[in-house]
Amino acid sequence: MATRTRKIQVVVSEVEMEKFKQYAESKGVAMSEILRDYVKSLVASSERRLLD
DSSP H or E segment with residue 23: helix 14-27
User: Any idea how long the chain is?
Assistant: 52
Residue 28, domain member (yes or no): yes
- Owning domain of residue 23: 14-51
Q: What is the pLDDT of residues 23-45, one digit of tens each?
A: 999 999 999 999 999 999 998 88
Confirm whether 40 is domain-assigned. yes
Q: Number of folded domains in the chain?
A: 1
pTM of the shown model: 0.77
Domain-embedded: residue 30: yes
In a domain, 3, yes or no: no
Q: Is residue 1 part of a domain?
A: no
pLDDT of residue 9: 95
Q: How far is Cα 26 from Cα 8, in angstroms, rounded to an integer? A: 24
